[in-house]
Structure 1
Amino acid sequence: MIHDAKTMAEMAAQTPTATPILANASRRAVLGGLGALVLALSLRDTARADEGQTEEQKQQKFGADGMPHGWRDDPKIFIAIAKDGTVTVTNHRSEMGQGVRTSVALVVADELEADWSKVRVTQAYGDEERFGNQDTDGSRSLRHFFQHFRHAGAAARLMLVQAAAKQWGVPASEVRSENHQLVHAKSGRKLGYGDVAAAAAELPVPERDSVKLKDPKAFRYIGTGKIGLIDNHDITTGKAVYGLDVKLDGMLYAVVARPPVYGGKIKSVDDAEALKVPGVVKTVRIEGGEIPSEFMPLGGVAVVARNTWAAMKGREALKITWDDGPNASYDTDAFRTELEKAARQPGKVVRNQGDVDGAFAKAKKKFEAEYFVPHLAQAPMEPPAAVVWVKTDGTCEAWACTQGPQAAHDRLVKRLNLPADKVRVNVTLLGGGFGRKSKPDYVVEAALCSQAVGAPVKLAWTREDDIHHGYYHTISVERIEAAVDEKGMPTAWLHRSTAPTIGSIFAPDPKHELPFELGMGLVNNPLNIKNMRLENPAAPAHVRIGWFRSVSNIPHAFAIQSFVAELAHAAGRDPKEYLLELIGPGRKIDPTEIGDVWNYGEDPKRYPIDTGRLRRVIETVADGAKWGRKLEKGRGLGVAGHYSFVTYTACAAEVEVDAKGQVKVNAVDIAVDCGAQVNPERIRSQMEGAVVMGMGLALTSEITFKNGRAQQNNFDGYEIIRIDAAPKEIRVHLVPSGDYAGPLGGVGEPGVPPVAPAIANAVFAATGRRVRQLPIRGQAASA
């Protein structure tokens, strides 16, 4: 999720039993339990920020860095040090394989000068007043919180030093921290962190400007790449708790029969046979079907039983007559034709520079192409799941694999009509997310079932549920036209991007993409072309459109990088050299000056578009792939670069195409420049995962609709890349830039966009057949 729902709705409207994981500690609180003395560190008082505020003021609570207004300098990150010296770091973002729990802990531990073997991590529950923005999306976790984490660790280190100095009766300047110990060099005395934790907790938290951060040369964990996943042992031994693993005493189980068409509703239901299934306890009518749907349930009938199998068999026995509603005739083939028609007509102008029409009128050569990207499903390995207990005392507690615990909390409050302080959302590990689990409709479904039966309920989505009823990546048609000079270089560029918007789940069919979607590789196109016009024709939505890893960067990068390769071929030029010439010399572009009012939510002065960095990652993958080498028949190299989430990535793919047109990706080089690197091990893993995911988009993945219904059911129809199709080599190139005081980029999402166009361009190099739609499937076969 990029914005909170209220902001999204406004943008769309303007555009046609568990013990608390943490106690709320004050600055000087000492938490005790089981004989362990604990230092609880919050760099500002944790009193509620909304006292005396209007409702409007309460809603507008975050700054651009994700921190609540008034707390921008100091995050509410907690550090607990037990009597035995164990350091527990609270992670406020959701862990779904990207390693954020590890990265948060290693940053704090480094500045704390802690022994990594004594560091643990615990998960924050949903409370943005306490922990800051908790939406795990947009590659923002370290980008926004790195410096806050450093200051938290350094402040705790200073407090420990002060406590030891006071105990010894020496100046604090004579005490240093060293690998979990306080050392007085003159006397040789030493104390462990646990020995002074209680005393340190009694000291006032130092002001931010009095806290000295480490010199990066002294980092022991940050930037070294030596730290593996902090959860690795629990994950590999089956001890880790995901959403599907939560179990409470007396818990029941539920699945839901949902409308097969978005916006559909129940005409009639007969549950008599379902109630006869052994183990079925109750059926629950869930209201829904409204458009826009926001994050609320689609509606339908839930079957609650003593185990999931009984619930599923009960669902099969339901007799439901549906009113399919306004999207009953949705057909993606027909809709593609509509989008193509719209893309061939003038649309809403979102960026206009120079004289495009004049340049086209003078041009002797013109080129045009249309590119198509289908609906995609996030399809995390762990489908949506939640356990919720709505208790008779008027409280509600949830355990969910969610990317947005505050969003889940707020929807539970709204749907159950409970006070905000009576609802708690605990965050489990996520078996993948990719944007799907930022929408908590499944958590609300579980809560409604629990409320109806008076017991805790685990509600699970099956793979079929996930594919049939999800929030899909938008379908799009990208049309690009170019006028070229005698050297084959563009003198004018016209790009029409036609796609339903995510805003359609927040407002009644806004039809045009929102600024954040346009700012994902469209209006912030950095190509050095004098005359450029970018348009956004209208496109209605017929399914729930939602965030998908890297979002609208996928169709924009695919179209632009493919079209550039087409122009290079027409000019008789090497595609890599042509791309670099088209990007132009290294320069810094203020995104607001070229129509991008969003810039990934970042200050454009701090985060300009740097074409030198974009050039560097392209050159890096070309070198890694040994660009220009002669390949045997049926093999080819393709390259693509892209800027997204204030990070620069590029990909070079080597493919092999057999006589039947089957595409095999033999090797991939991917380069990333995200600024200074905090956790290189995780950056490599993210890039490797992005390559495999990007291959799926390029080669196999597609959701189609007929009569309003998704035609794919499981992984036999919605194909993701299997392990046997993974490249033999994925070479990740980490391109460092900047320093640890400067702005950081994102990592989780930027690796995906350049993969598909690099593969498509490689297919052309191998076969001479141009790919203009995804997935590639049989397009590489001989005619």
Structure 2
Amino acid sequence: MLNHLPEHLRPGARDAARQSIIMRVDRRDVLKGALAGFALGLFARPATAFEPYPTGGLEMPRGLVTDPLVFVSIDPDGTVTIVAHRSEMGQGSRTSLPMVLADEMDADWNRVKIVQAPGDEPRYGNQDTDGSRSLRHHVQSMRQMGAAVREMLRRAAAKSWGVEPSAVTVGLHEAQGPGGQRAGFGELAEAAMVEPVPAFEELTFKDEAAFRYIGKGEVQITDLRDITTGAAIYGADVILDGMKTAVIARPPVLGGKVKSYDATETLAVPGVEQVIELAGAEAPVNFLPLGGLAVVATNTWAAEQGREKLKIEWEDGPNAGYESGSYRAAMDAASQAPDNIFREQGDTPAAFAAAAKTFERAYFQTHMAHIPMEPPVAVANVTADACEVWLPVQSPYGAREDLAKDLGIPIENVKVNVTLLGGGFGRKSKWDFAIEAARLSQAVGAPVRVQWSREDDIRHSFMHTTSVERLRVAMDGKGKVTGWHHTSVAPSILSTFAPDSGYQFFIEHGMGHVDAPWDVPNIRCDNAKAMAHARIGWFRSVSNVPRAWAVQSFIAELADELGRDHKEMLLELIGPPRKVDIATAGMPEDFWNYGEPYEEYPIDTGRLAHVVEVAADAAGWGASLPEGEGIGLAVHRSFVTYVAVAARVKVVDRVIRVPEMHFAVDCGFAANPERIRSQMEGSAVMGMTLALHSGITYENGRVQQSNFYDYDVVRSDNFPERVDVHIVPHPFSVHASGIGEPGVPPVAPAIGNAIFAATGQRLRDLPLGTEV
């Protein structure tokens, strides 16, 4: 069987774990005649192999995979097992990708079982679950595998019945012959196993009208029942025989170190066994641990009590002076003297010199933490020459590579088992907590679970960048915008991986900055230096959050300044339907289009304008509202998807309420509408949290927030009573695009614009707060 269960999992979790933990399958074992099931290995193909039919996206792997990828097996009873090679954190990739394969295969979804792949990119291809690219990169490879399995079953049935394969049809979980013969998938599995994998040119694909599951929105997320009932296996649910638990006192300032410590009282706590000093990484830190003192105990409670009793003197290091207020002032000053131009269309200085009127505003966003409901946790078992870990991680193979390097053992001796993620948002694309667990297991000589608390998570995470976005426009005598100038100042994610230049890099420029789609003849995009003093990391939608906040707020302010309707002003700036020509638009040669070929995923202003119209119409734009209420509008393209949000705000006794929100989503072909709606509803929660509540501040290099009482989130008493998701329909020929991240950026500016419409107060700093 593909998914045999490790015996070291606690007995009560074993049944549920069968769906969440998968051990490596050796292809030689699969091919042995003793196995009655059918295992199919398929090869990854270059993107050009998909040209004869719509791609739905192009795979961009780290390298061309040439070894067979084991994705499908069929048991004699007809059970179809499909391997999910991407991590599951609520976005639904563990459901959607197998669903596509099962549909093209003509499998009965009720007879499909899904198992999770370990970190093994040579076997499974790219496993980085980020960038909202799982469906857009793999919808076609999943279809190809399904079509291959269907063809192999067809050929096996044809040989059994002595007919031509063309005379055999494959229906729902069975093959049918010309004389009324019928055979289920289980009956055909053994014979199909010896069929050669068909060449790509030999495959036939379903017409869109024949899809059973793809595009229907009727398949619920695979793990829904287990998650709801508590049977699902997350990182902290894995228990190994003899396992120790560790918590870590990490330096309160990035780059800090332990100067001295006294662990006498800690070691006196019942259950505490050791205090181990961990080395911290020198900048750039990459995904290595921060260092500090680990308290190793027989249980979590003892470890936490022991940590509280540690007496530590810290050497704070070079970031001890980091203070949010002064840093913001420095960013604001820098935004008024940018020195790095990376988009120049037309002659922007001349446009401003000749302007009849100019208008300028600056917008601010503070640092933010990911706060997944499940804080980081990892279980590691390191022996003399091997390492096995269990953890909720978005990039299991990256973790495997770094574990091997850090421990000094061959990568083939490292195994990374992926549990469900209790939220990720980019935090769990970093695996510092796995390396902490592995180092401690190696030092202790026993399995170790490292458990982060909520306070650990908020104070020591990789932070979403802080930024100042300054926007200026030049206008002629009729109020027509003739010049657009956008300056962005923010510490860069690149500082985590390389010596810090203080400047953002091309990926960050491509997120709502250099890709401005406006129908304006003169456009300049630039930035200025901002050195990082915190670990800056990927965050859901990344730099699109501050950019959409600034740009969409600014356009609404500009409309008010000119006495214009906001929607009309926005549509005028978007201009007529067209594909933006990046060459004539003065965009840089290294323009980052979310890793996608621009000719396949261009900036399409027609699609951008259309979602604005859909969201506005759904919310009743222009209707008369009671006093203290307003509708705000915002739109943004990110991860090659177009999303507009119309939010209705109601201010009662100065408290901001958001009773209604409408999302208009154009993500190309909607492979799984149920998950699209779910992701937009989740974006409403996260977007409102970023808009009204979340903010990380620093004093003396230290994070000032620690838990949900001072780093608040949207709660059930102020979540919209109504979140409507309007999906723009497209046929399969329109490439599927991203969905996990694009819903977040327009939410905050839509709320901010609605607050202005309701109260006349313009707020320019994120978070806004809950009162006006």
Match of 1:597 in 2: 591
User: Offset at 1:765?
Assistant: 0.6
Match of 2:249 among 254, 257, 272: 257
Matches within 5 A, 1:111-190: 111-184=104-177, 186-190=178-182
Residue 642 of structure 1 aligns to a residue whose secondary structure is: strand
User: Offset at 1:658?
Assistant: 2.6
Q: Distance in 2 between matches of 1:172 and 1:435?
A: 47
Match of 2:365 in 1: 373
Match of 1:480 in 2: 471
* Alignment-mate amino acid for residue 694 of structure 1: G
Matches within 5 A, 1:654-669: 654-659=648-653, 661-669=654-662
Alpha-carbon contact 1:590-1:605 (below 8 Å) kept: no
Match of 2:551 among 546, 560, 570: 560
Match of 2:27 in 1: 25
Q: Does residue 637 of structure 2 align to residue 643 of structure 1?
A: yes
* Alignment-mate amino acid for residue 166 of structure 2: S
Q: Does residue 194 of structure 2 align to residue 194 of structure 1?
A: no
Match of 2:667 in 1: 674
Match of 2:94 in 1: 101
Alpha-carbon contact 1:30-1:38 (below 8 Å) kept: no
Q: Distance in 2 between matches of 1:725 and 1:769?
A: 21
Structure 1 unmatched runs, 5+: 1-16, 47-62
Alpha-carbon contact 1:637-1:762 (below 8 Å) kept: yes
* Alignment-mate amino acid for residue 30 of structure 1: L
Match of 2:461 among 470, 474, 477: 470
Matches within 5 A, 1:314-353: 314-353=306-345
Alpha-carbon contact 1:139-1:748 (below 8 Å) kept: yes
TM-score w.r.t. the length of structure 2 is 0.94
The change in CA–CA distance for 1:68 and 1:349 in structure 2 (over 3 A counts) is closer
Q: Does residue 567 of structure 2 align to residue 576 of structure 1?
A: yes
What whole-Å deviation, never above 9, does each CA across 1:195-229 have from its counterpart, x for those lacking one? 11111111110011111111110000000011001
Give the percent of matched residue pairs that are identical in Structure 1 and Structure 2: 53
Matches within 5 A, 1:131-530: 131-184=124-177, 186-392=178-384, 394-530=385-521
Number of positions where the alignment pairs a residue of Structure 1 with one of Structure 2: 740
Alpha-carbon contact 1:77-1:149 (below 8 Å) kept: no
User: Offset at 1:634?
Assistant: 0.6
What whole-Å deviation, never above 9, does each CA across 1:138-167 have from its counterpart, x for those lacking one? 000011010000000110010011111111
User: Offset at 1:629?
Assistant: 0.2
What whole-Å deviation, never above 9, does each CA across 1:332-380 have from its counterpart, x for those lacking one? 1110000000001132001011111111111121111010001000000
The change in CA–CA distance for 1:680 and 1:77 in structure 2 (over 3 A counts) is farther
Alpha-carbon contact 1:488-1:568 (below 8 Å) kept: no
Residue 378 of structure 2 aligns to a residue whose secondary structure is: strand
Q: Distance in 2 between matches of 1:76 and 1:209?
A: 19
Q: Distance in 2 between matches of 1:487 and 1:388?
A: 67
What whole-Å deviation, never above 9, does each CA across 1:496-515 have from its counterpart, x for those lacking one? 10000000011121211111
Q: Distance in 1 between matches of 2:78 and 2:229?
A: 26
Q: Distance in 1 between matches of 2:70 and 2:60?
A: 13
Q: Distance in 2 between matches of 1:571 and 1:694?
A: 28
The change in CA–CA distance for 1:377 and 1:45 in structure 2 (over 3 A counts) is closer
User: Offset at 1:487?
Assistant: 2.9
Match of 2:529 in 1: 538
Alpha-carbon contact 1:159-1:205 (below 8 Å) kept: yes
* Cα root mean square deviation, aligned: 1.7
Q: Does residue 764 of structure 2 align to residue 763 of structure 1?
A: no
* Alignment-mate amino acid for residue 618 of structure 1: V
Matches within 5 A, 1:598-613: 598-613=592-607
Alpha-carbon contact 1:264-1:289 (below 8 Å) kept: no
User: Offset at 1:578?
Assistant: 0.9
* Alignment-mate amino acid for residue 21 of structure 1: M
Q: Distance in 2 between matches of 1:77 and 1:110?
A: 18
Q: Distance in 1 between matches of 2:721 and 2:460?
A: 35
User: Offset at 1:609?
Assistant: 0.5
Q: Distance in 1 between matches of 2:326 and 2:705?
A: 17
Match of 1:53 in 2: none
User: Offset at 1:135?
Assistant: 0.7
Match of 1:41 in 2: 40
* Alignment-mate amino acid for residue 693 of structure 2: T
Q: Distance in 1 between matches of 2:75 and 2:68?
A: 22
Alpha-carbon contact 1:265-1:289 (below 8 Å) kept: no
Residue 463 of structure 2 aligns to a residue whose secondary structure is: coil
What whole-Å deviation, never above 9, does each CA across 1:293-338 have from its counterpart, x for those lacking one? 1000000011111000000011111111110000001001110000
What whole-Å deviation, never above 9, does each CA across 1:233-268 have from its counterpart, x for those lacking one? 211221110111111111110100000000001111
* Alignment-mate amino acid for residue 633 of structure 1: E
Q: Distance in 2 between matches of 1:527 and 1:536?
A: 19
Q: Distance in 2 between matches of 1:176 and 1:29?
A: 27
What whole-Å deviation, never above 9, does each CA across 1:531-579 have from its counterpart, x for those lacking one? 1111111110000000110000001111111111111111111101110
The change in CA–CA distance for 1:734 and 1:75 in structure 2 (over 3 A counts) is farther
Q: Does residue 685 of structure 2 align to residue 692 of structure 1?
A: yes
* Alignment-mate amino acid for residue 426 of structure 1: N
Match of 1:12 in 2: none
Q: Distance in 2 between matches of 1:686 and 1:347?
A: 38
User: Offset at 1:30?
Assistant: 2.9
The change in CA–CA distance for 1:224 and 1:32 in structure 2 (over 3 A counts) is farther
Q: Distance in 1 between matches of 2:283 and 2:306?
A: 28
Residue 41 of structure 1 aligns to a residue whose secondary structure is: strand
Alpha-carbon contact 2:376-2:452 (below 8 Å) kept: yes
* Alignment-mate amino acid for residue 767 of structure 2: P
Residue 517 of structure 2 aligns to a residue whose secondary structure is: coil
The change in CA–CA distance for 1:725 and 1:484 in structure 2 (over 3 A counts) is same
Q: Distance in 2 between matches of 1:64 and 1:187?
A: 41
User: Offset at 1:285?
Assistant: 1.2
Q: Distance in 2 between matches of 1:742 and 1:490?
A: 33
User: Offset at 1:698?
Assistant: 0.7
User: Offset at 1:75?
Assistant: 8.5
Residue 40 of structure 2 aligns to a residue whose secondary structure is: coil
User: Offset at 1:71?
Assistant: 4.2
Alpha-carbon contact 1:590-1:604 (below 8 Å) kept: no
* Alignment-mate amino acid for residue 397 of structure 1: E
The change in CA–CA distance for 1:638 and 1:234 in structure 2 (over 3 A counts) is same
Q: Distance in 2 between matches of 1:476 and 1:375?
A: 8
Alpha-carbon contact 2:691-2:766 (below 8 Å) kept: yes
Alpha-carbon contact 2:630-2:648 (below 8 Å) kept: yes
